[in-house]
Amino acid sequence: MSIATTVHGEHPAEHYPGGLLRWLTTTNHKDIGTMYLLFSLVMFFVGGLMILLVRAELFQPGLQLMKPEFFNQLIGVHALVMIFAALMPAATGFANWMIPLMIGAPDMALPRLNNWGFWLLPPAATLLTLPFVLALFGVGDGAIATGWTFYAPLSVQGGLGVDFAILAVHILGISSIMGSINIIVTIFNMRAPGMTMMKLPLFAWGWLITAFLLIATLPVLAGAVTMLLTDRHFGTHFFDAAGGGDPILFQHLFWFFGHPEVYILLLPVWGLMPHVLATFSRKPTYGYTAQVYGFIAIGLLSVIVWAHHFFTVGMPVPALIYFMFSTMAISVPLAVLFFCWIATMWKGSMTFETPMLFAVGFIVLFGIAGLTGLVLADVAADAQYHHSYFVVAHFHYALFAGGIMGVMTGVYYWLPKWTGHMYSERLGKLHFWLTVVSFNLTFIPQFFLGLAGMPRRIPDYALQFAEFNAISTVGAFILGISQLLFAWNIWSCVRGGPKAEARAWEGAEGLEWELSSPPPHHSWETQPVVK
């Protein structure tokens, strides 16, 4: 079989098998993108359910619903699921769907690799959650209970859940690396004539930097967890001081991956924001070049700041000062992005459809994440914030308001393009307001909890923390239930709705809006030329 035929087929629409086999064997970027997005949506609810159990336990002081062991499993698996199985696949789904459309390519450059990359995800997610099920049948003591960070020696001590998680992380890593390779080579080799790198849509630029970060850091994570595995089972002492190792080495390796991971999750979102803002402001993107260099600068800085995640382990003063200032330096390129986003809106002709609402909500709430991140960088104040609920609130502003609300922006923005139907604007707006209000209701109290001295990852707490925890739990449940609206809106949009035009939004610019909604099974049968 030749790849050229699939792309070049004379009767493209008849070229694929029907039913389940179509999805198992598909090499079509749109089919794979759809599968990524659906998988992500499902896992978003799985991870959400876990944290609702946690919040229910934390509703009142005392142990009500579960043992601390199970609590510890839930918080760690919640994070791993949300990061690796919800956010990352959502971004990859966007990339699969949109990058070929945006750069005028007929498909991703390596379609079979693409298929493989996706189909590694369901087994990995199964491995991650399987220990919960096994424990029900009396096998092992449940899932990984170390938090998502795997810190040795706690993870060396842990049960079989840790081994399952290590295996799952390896598979997820391989999947992400294959996805990244595909995106890099597609962007480098498949662009339409005339589309120079500096004409590349910002979404593709954001993903390109993400892909490079994944390639640079995932092998390090894989190495770290492999060392953990050999420490657990094969008598090595990478992280055991008694054998000449060092538990802190694990934290260095983990966060060398872990900090760039934050930008891996966020860069695709930062890439899509200018598209949405420009569309609904009916105005060209402000500062395209500045944003490209902003992405690159953030990518480079992100790999040299990792140790700010563990200032409390005790480091030499010069190291503390270096990591503090390098972290603060990230605020500069990040401020460039904020400046460009607001300047894009400035003197436009704005309308506030659901994607624009989410984009604005994203900017404001992600602003809180950025600003609290700036104070967290300060070592002295960090001694108080660290390991406390202040940090929990901070990174949920970054990863829920920044990551997930960013993904929701993209979903609402592109749903008409993907399905050919308009979603319900009324439901979308309701979803937005419920999400924003309940999100803040959940996480603003957590800032105060952290300042008052509540450590994170505790199943029970002192009485002085009771009120804020109760408020936070109420917020979390509203937040969780509101997301059903999101799923319902997507479902009804897939099923039907008003017909979407090729250019679904009045102010939308770019190659992707030249193709019909939904696009033909094979995008860009004829090659577009960018002038």
Partner 1 sequence: MTESFSAEDLARRRAASRRLGWAIGLAVLALYILGFFIKR
Partner 2 sequence: MLDAVDLEAEKPRGPRLRGLLTLAALASGPAGAEIRFNFPEPVTPIARETLAIHNEFMLIITVLFVAVFAIMIYSMIRHRKSVGHEPVKFSGPRGAAQWFWALVPFAILLFIDFVLMGIPAVKAIVEMEDTKTRADMVLKVTGMQWKWQYEYPDSGIRFVSTMSTPRDQITNAEAKGEHYLLEVDNPVVLPVNKKVRILLTSTDVIHTWWVPQFGVKRDAIPGFLRETWVKIEKPGTYRGQCAELCGKDHGFMPVVVHAVPEPEYLAWVEQQKAAAQAAASGADRAWSRDELMAAGQDVYSKQCVACHQPNGQGLPPAFPPLAGSKVVGTPLLAPDGRAVKDSHVDRVLNGKPGTAMMAYRNTLSDVELAAVITYERNSFGNTLGDMIQPAQIKALRQEAKQ
CB-based burial, 179-194: b 16+ in 10 Å, e otherwise: bbbbbbebbeebbbee
**Stretches 265-273, 321-329, 435-443, 520-528: which one binds partner 2 (CB under 8 A)?**
321-329
CA angle 103, 104, 105 (to 5 degrees): 95
Interaction between residue 422 and partner 1 (CB under 8 A): no
DSSP state of 208: H
Site string for partner 1, 211-250 (x = CB under 8 A): ----xx-xxx-xxx-xx-----------------xx-xx-
- Does 182 engage in binding with partner 1 (CB under 8 A)? yes
> CA 88, CA 118: separation in Å to the nearest integer?
11
**How long, in residues, is the chain?**
531
Looking at beta carbons only, is 21 or 321 nearer to partner 2? 321
**Contact status, residue 203 vs residue 275, Cβ threshold 8 Å:** yes
Contact with partner 2 (CB under 8 A): which of 30, 283, 394, 503?
A: 283
Q: Which is nearer to partner 2, 44 or 461 (CB)?
A: 461
Is residue 258 packed enough to be buried (19+ CB in 10 Å), middle (13-18) or exposed (0-12)?
A: buried
Residue pair 267/330 in contact (Cβ under 8 Å)? The answer is no
Shortest Cβ 246–partner 2 spacing (Å) = 8
Q: Which of 53, 216, 282, 297 binds partner 2 (CB under 8 A)?
A: 282
Q: What is the footprint of partner 1 within residues 370-389 (CB under 8 A)?
A: none
Helices (H), 27-110: 29-57, 68-80, 88-103
Choosing among partner 1, partner 2, none, which partner's interface includes residue 65 (Cβ < 5 to 8 Å by kind)? none
List 75, 86, 109, 267, residue binding partner 1 (CB under 8 A): 109
Instruction: Judge whether 99 and 168 are in contact, CB under 8 Å.
Output: no
Residue 17 and residue 10: Cα distance in Å, rounded?
Answer: 16
Per-residue binding string, partner 2, 218-257, x by CB under 8 A, is ----------------------xxx---xxx---------
The answer to the question of residue 453 lying near partner 1 (CB under 8 A) is no
445 part of the interface to partner 1, by CB under 8 A: no
481 binds partner 2 (CB under 8 A): no
**What distance in Å separates the CA atoms of residue 205 and residue 345, rounded to the nearest whole number?**
21
Q: How far is CA 439 from the centre of its chain?
A: 17
Residues 250-269 that bind partner 1 (CB under 8 A): 253
Q: Using CB under 8 A, which residues numbered 489 to 528 contact partner 1? A: 524-528
CA–CA distance, 151 with 477 (Å, rounded to integer): 30
| Residue 224 touches which member of partner 1, partner 2, none, C-beta under 5-8 Å by kind | partner 1
Helix (H) or strand (E) holding 166: helix 160-189
Contact with partner 2 (CB under 8 A): which of 141, 501, 509, 514?
A: 141
Burial of residue 491 (number of CB atoms within 10 Å: 0-12, 13-18, 19+): exposed
Among 66, 134, 154, 297, binds partner 2 (CB under 8 A): 154
Total of residues contacting partner 2 (CB under 8 A): 95
Which residues in 60-119 contact partner 2 (CB under 8 A)? Answer: 61-64, 67-69, 72
Please state, in angstroms and rounded to a whole number, the distance separating the CA atoms of residues 408 and 422.
Answer: 15
Helical H segments across 377-522, by residue range: 379-385, 389-396, 405-419, 425-452, 466-495
Q: Indicate which single residue of 322, 448, 477, 513 sits in contact with partner 2 (rule: CB under 8 A).
A: 448
Closest among 43, 66, 88, 111 to 214, alpha carbons compared: 88
Residue 405 is a binding residue for partner 1 (CB under 8 A): no
Judged by beta carbon, residue 177 or residue 466, the one nearer partner 1 is 177
Q: Is the peptide bond before 153 cis (omega within 30 degrees of 0)?
A: yes
Q: Which is nearer to partner 2, 67 or 426 (CB)?
A: 67
C-alpha span between 352 and 494 (Å, rounded)? 22
Task: Kindly tell me which of 131 and 179 has the beta carbon lying closer to partner 2.
Answer: 131
Binding residue (CB under 8 A) for partner 2 from 170, 191, 386, 431: 386
3: partner contacted, choices partner 2, partner 1, none (Cβ within 5-8 A by kind): partner 1
Which residues of this protein are in contact with partner 1, per CB under 8 A? Answer: 3-4, 7-8, 106, 109-110, 113, 177, 180-182, 184-186, 188-190, 215-216, 218-220, 222-224, 226-227, 245-246, 248-249, 253, 524-529
